Amino acid sequence: MSDNAVAMLQYGTRDLRETEVPKPKLVEGSALLRVEACGLCGSDIESLRGEDWATFPRIMGHEIVGTVEAVGPGGRPDLKVGDRVAVDPWIPCGGCRYCLAGMGQFCDRNPFDNSRLACYGYITTDNEPGLWGGYSSHVYLHPMAVTYQIPDSIDPLDAALWQPMAAGIQWAVKEPGLTVGSTVAILGCGQRGLTSTLAARGAGAATIIVTGLGKDARKLALATEFGADHAIDVEQEDLKERIDHITGGEGVDIVVDTSSFSIQPVVDSISLVRKGGTIVFAGLKAKEVDGFPVDEAIMKGIRMQGVLGMPPDAYRRSIALIATGEVPIAQMRTHVFDYHEGMKAVDTLSGKIEGEDAINVVLSHEG
């Protein structure tokens, strides 16, 4: 067994280099994970461009699934060698008001130097032992790292969808209070728009509307397979008119905006939701929204909820749901790359590779 892990370190914008990193000497409460798979999301695109909150060098990748290879002295009650686990991206302090409320993603006691976020994929390698991202053969599990057990029956590539599925459960169902008979518009048909569709259908939504662009024909078709009643190309149809027709002019109970960068869905959401309805903003825009119709939001009595990450309960529910084999989530997977091909994987997800129509992209560490 090698004393070194192999990782793709990011040194700057579009600068990934294969590097050997010594495997750490474990301390009490820590562990070493052999990575099986790491899913990609839109934030990886920003990361490769150097447009996020990270500093360098670092190892990208925060949707991590693997097998525990070693545990620190004294053991750890929630982990043993051979366990298959998913790693919560956020490393909590465990004692602040947010961590105590199960909201570790908002923890404001960052223990890492030169890293703005205490989140896997964003912690710089000068924070020992350096193995803080999934674009690597191994990941260091901090003593405060939160993990979730994954049954051996789940294929590693399917298991890598645990985080997108958790987003669907939290954003489309739990946060807005979706119940049997709800009407919901899901803006954006990427991974999290599609898992939101699955979650909404599973929770008993009466009407599910999913939107996308002309280039999203494949995703919109999959949304229909996943249970969407209406899949709307907003470049071909007037979204407000169509939703008014579907809902008899009332608007939907819930709008979930999963789209990234585009600010138009934020403005659209106000006109699409019914009086007293709920809007969940989940897609980061990296810019401010001009012309936000705040008066309309007030007059309609709309509840607006921003979301960042998911709480542990959503992750546990996601893994349990995937383990049933009853959700066709694997249909989202379009590309699998070796982790050495991190640059190509991100470019594929971002649409930079001509002829490739990506939905779910995974880095595999299983040879």
| φ/ψ bin of 240: left (φ > 0), alpha (ψ from -120 to 50), beta (otherwise) | alpha
Look up the pTM and report it. Answer: 0.95
d(CA 304, CA 159): 31
Q: How confident is the model at residue 291 (pLDDT cuts 50, 70, 90)?
A: confident
Percent of the chain with pLDDT strictly greater than 70 = 99
Listing DSSP states for 7-44 in one string gives: EEEEEETTEEEEEEEEPPPP-TT-EEEEEEEEE--HHH
Does position 1 have pLDDT exceeding 70, yes or no? no
Is the per-residue pLDDT at 286 higher than 90? no
In this prediction, residues 194-206 reach a mean pLDDT of 98
> Do 4-160+328-364 and 164-306 show the same overall fold?
no
pLDDT band per the 50, 70, 90 thresholds, residue 53: confident
Tokens representing residue 45 in the block:
């695109």
**Phi, psi at 138, each rounded to 5°:** -140, 155
Rounded Cα distance between 312 and 88, Å, is 8
Q: Which class in CATH covers the domain with range 164-306?
A: alpha beta
Domain range list for the chain: 4-160+328-364, 164-306
| Predicted pLDDT at 261 | 82
Share of the chain above pLDDT 90, in %: 86
**Rounded-to-integer distance, Cα 135 and Cα 47, Å:** 12
pLDDT computed for residue 173 by the predictor:
98
pLDDT tens-digit profile of 104-132?
999 989 889 878 889 999 999 999 999 99
- Helices and strands: H and E segment counts in the chain: 11, 16
H or E segment at 304?
strand 303-306
Distances (CA, A) of 9 to 17, 43, 97, 103: 5, 16, 34, 29
Q: Give tens-digit pLDDT for 63-120.
A: 999 999 999 999 999 999 999 999 999 999 999 999 999 999 999 898 898 788 899 9
Rounded Cα distance, 264 and 283, in Å: 12
pLDDT in tens, 262-271: 889 999 999 9
| DSSP classification of residue 136 | B
- Residue 199 structure tokens: 């979650």
pLDDT at residue 290, rounded to an integer: 87
Question: Domain spanning 4-160+328-364: which CATH class is it, in words?
Answer: alpha beta
133-159 pLDDT tens trace: 999 999 999 999 999 999 999 999 999
User: Strands 183-187, 207-212: parallel, antiparallel or unpaired by DSSP?
Assistant: parallel
User: What is the C-alpha to C-alpha distance for residues 211 and 235, in angstroms, rounded to an integer?
Assistant: 10
